[in-house]
């Protein structure tokens, strides 16, 4: 929260040092000593610099007992209370200094911060913008950063971006604005802009391992694993002890299906963090992909010996047994995984697929139901549960499930095409065609799913006419 711009030095000057030492001596002895307003402000500012807001508040209360009419101390008290998250108490003290409301930018900024805490964002922006109009460009730069920081702290990244951009335009040499913009755009899902601003930060400071690391994370989110690996390697080159970058590099290698390279990187990570069972588990996953099943099982068993409640190890064993066709052991280990972690949607999904292999459709449907109970956005699980109910001759239930899925993901063409197919399969041609058209508007290329679910749809003239119009 914005308090005021401070240098952060331990003692700003001899006057502050003297004030603080006298104040702390008074507290220790319990003997009253007189402080003028400037002296007590020095003490308060010292504690604010050290982020000791309780001590700052105590000093402010002490100062107000000596100078009960001081507008400066009342405003300072309001700032501290807002900084502590006590918006209503802060506003109470601001009301005591309304005479400052027209021309004091600190009053306006404090009120803006209080409005933020109370979730009145529009009102907060009014006060922020009014305050900004009262200050010089030199002061404005710090204030814009503080406003952006406060907005970021409450999770309002979109509006924080606006103030950070204003700050970056005011002083393009201040790379901290670019760092914050990179972070906020990441949080809003605008990964292209996030990388753009992180790169601008690197133009000023190319040896920031944390920025390279953050860029790696973004590339990983966008499944651009090659660039993610490069970014993590830059972070590691700058800081050999950046173990998180090494771990994430290993993950990116695994995601790139470079499993041997990933195993090597995971073992490098284990050299510095040998107790990481997660890293050992991921090595086991890589061995599964390489079909080194014995090595994978050995790793998973070694993890279980260390921690018998490490659910992922049982999931890894289940995957191995599933691949090997040892379905009894696979079932046992999937169930053990879920017993330890009932929200493990991968385990529920894999268990559902195993039940499909075993022709146990009712149990498969139950497993897929649990998958979507814990993850409403698993498109494949919604498709499979609809298919399972169809095989159970309950197309009505297939339709119900897909209608529910589309409530969560209304713009997903895959789900919409599937719903169209089941309506057509049920004999409801009118509604089936309506959903086909809806899906076709979303995506003109994925209609083949309709023919896989209901091959007779390939003979439907209306569907063929719609498809041929785009050719």
Same domain? For 10 and 100 the reply is yes
**Residue 422 domain boundaries:** 390-471
> Does residue 37 fall inside a structural domain?
yes
Same domain? For 421 and 464 the reply is yes
Is residue 110 within 8 Å of 75, Cβ to Cβ? yes
Same domain? For 59 and 16 the reply is yes
> Does residue 189 fall inside a structural domain?
no
Q: Can you give the pLDDT of all 471 residues of the chain as single tens digits?
A: 444 444 444 444 677 888 888 888 888 888 888 888 998 998 998 888 888 889 999 999 999 999 999 999 999 999 999 888 899 999 999 999 888 877 889 999 999 999 988 989 889 899 999 999 898 888 899 899 988 988 888 888 999 999 999 999 999 999 999 999 999 999 999 999 999 999 999 999 999 999 999 999 999 999 999 999 999 999 999 999 999 999 999 999 999 999 999 999 999 999 998 889 999 999 999 999 999 999 999 999 999 999 999 999 999 999 999 999 999 999 999 999 999 999 999 999 999 999 999 999 999 999 999 999 999 999 999 999 999 999 999 999 999 999 999 999 999 999 999 999 999 999 999 999 999 999 999 999 899 999 999 999 999 999 999 888 766
Q: How many domains does the chain have?
A: 3
Which one of 317, 346, 381 terminates a domain?
381
Per-residue confidence (pLDDT) for residue 13, from 0 to 100: 64
Per-residue confidence (pLDDT) for residue 3, from 0 to 100: 44
> Does residue 220 fall inside a structural domain?
no
Is residue 264 within 8 Å of 252, Cβ to Cβ? no
Same domain? For 74 and 19 the reply is yes
Nearest to 220 by CA among 243, 197, 254: 254
Q: CATH code at 422? A: 1.25.40
Per-residue confidence (pLDDT) for residue 98, from 0 to 100: 86
Distance CA 346, CA 213 (A): 28
- Counting every residue written for the chain, the total comes to 471
Q: CATH code at 356? A: 1.25.40.10
> Does residue 222 fall inside a structural domain?
no
Distance CA 142, CA 158 (A): 19
Per-residue confidence (pLDDT) for residue 365, from 0 to 100: 98
For the four alpha carbons of 204, 206, 210 and 212, in that order, the dihedral sign comes to positive
Same domain? For 339 and 409 the reply is no
- 459: tokens are 């003979």
Rounded to 5 degrees, what are φ and ψ at 11? -130, 125
Per-residue confidence (pLDDT) for residue 9, from 0 to 100: 42
Which one of 328, 356, 381 terminates a domain?
381
Same domain? For 377 and 396 the reply is no
Same domain? For 397 and 348 the reply is no
Same domain? For 315 and 410 the reply is no
> Does residue 431 fall inside a structural domain?
yes
Same domain? For 366 and 416 the reply is no
Per-residue confidence (pLDDT) for residue 471, from 0 to 100: 60
Same domain? For 411 and 433 the reply is yes
Is residue 112 within 8 Å of 125, Cβ to Cβ? yes
> Does residue 441 fall inside a structural domain?
yes
Which one of 344, 364, 381 terminates a domain?
381
Per-residue pLDDT reduced to its tens digit, 146-195:
889 888 888 889 999 999 999 999 999 999 999 999 999 999 999 999 99
- Strand, helix or coil for residue 188: coil
Same domain? For 375 and 412 the reply is no
> Does residue 359 fall inside a structural domain?
yes
Same domain? For 374 and 302 the reply is yes
- Determine how many CB atoms are found less than 10 A away from the CB of residue 44: 30
Read off the pTM. 0.78
> Does residue 166 fall inside a structural domain?
no
């Amino acid at each position: 929260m914005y308090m005021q711009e401070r240098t952060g030095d331990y003692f700003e000057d001899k006057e502050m040092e003297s004030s603080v030492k006298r104040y702390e001596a008074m507290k220790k002895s319990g003997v009253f000593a007189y402080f003028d307003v400037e002296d007590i402000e020095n003490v308060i500012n010292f504690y604010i610099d050290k982020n000791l807001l309780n001590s700052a508040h105590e000093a402010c209360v002490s100062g107000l007992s000596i100078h009960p009419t001081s507008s400066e101390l009342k405003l300072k008290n309001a700032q501290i209370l807002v900084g502590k998250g006590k918006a209503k108490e802060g506003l109470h003290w601001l009301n005591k200094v309304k005479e400052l409301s027209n021309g004091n930018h600190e009053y306006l900024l404090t009120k803006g911060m209080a409005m933020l805490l109370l979730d009145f964002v529009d009102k907060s922006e009014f006060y922020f913008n009014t305050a900004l109009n009262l200050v010089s460009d030199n002061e404005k730069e710090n204030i814009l950063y503080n406003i952006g920081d406060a907005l970021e702290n409450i999770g309002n990244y979109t509006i924080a971006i606006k103030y950070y951009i204003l700050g970056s335009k005011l002083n393009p040499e201040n790379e901290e604005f670019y760092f914050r913009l990179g972070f906020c755009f990441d949080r809003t899902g605008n990964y292209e802009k996030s990388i753009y601003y992180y790169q601008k930060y690197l133009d000023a400071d190319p040896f920031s391992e944390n920025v390279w690391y953050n860029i790696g994370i973004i590339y990983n989110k966008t499944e651009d694993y090659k660039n993610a690996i490069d970014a993590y390697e830059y972070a590691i080159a700058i800081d050999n002890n950046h173990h998180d970058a090494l771990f994430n590099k290993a993950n990116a290698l695994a995601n790139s299906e470079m499993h041997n390279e990933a195993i090597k990187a995971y073992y490098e990570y284990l050299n510095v963090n040998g107790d990481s069972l997660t890293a050992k588990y991921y090595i086991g996953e890589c061995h599964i992909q390489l079909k080194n099943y014995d090595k994978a099982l050995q790793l998973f068993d070694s993890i279980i010996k260390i921690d018998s409640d490490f659910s992922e190890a049982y999931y890894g064993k289940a995957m191995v047994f599933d691949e090997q066709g040892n379905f009894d052991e696979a079932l046992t280990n999937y169930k053990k995984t879920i017993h330890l972690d009932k929200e493990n949607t991968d385990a529920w999904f894999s268990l559902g697929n195993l039940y499909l292999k075993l022709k146990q459709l009712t149990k498969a449907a139950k497993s897929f139901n649990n998958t979507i109970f814990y993850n409403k956005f698993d498109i494949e699980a919604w498709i499979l549960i609809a298919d399972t109910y169809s095989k159970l001759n309950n197309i009505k239930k297939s339709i119900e499930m897909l209608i529910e899925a589309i409530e969560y993901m209304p713009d997903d063409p895959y789900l919409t095409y599937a719903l169209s197919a089941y309506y057509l399969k049920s004999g409801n041609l009118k509604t089936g065609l309506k959903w086909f058209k809806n899906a076709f508007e979303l995506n003109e290329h994925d209609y083949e799913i309709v023919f896989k679910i209901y091959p007779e749809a390939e003979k439907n003239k209306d569907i063929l006419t719609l498809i041929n119009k785009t050719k």
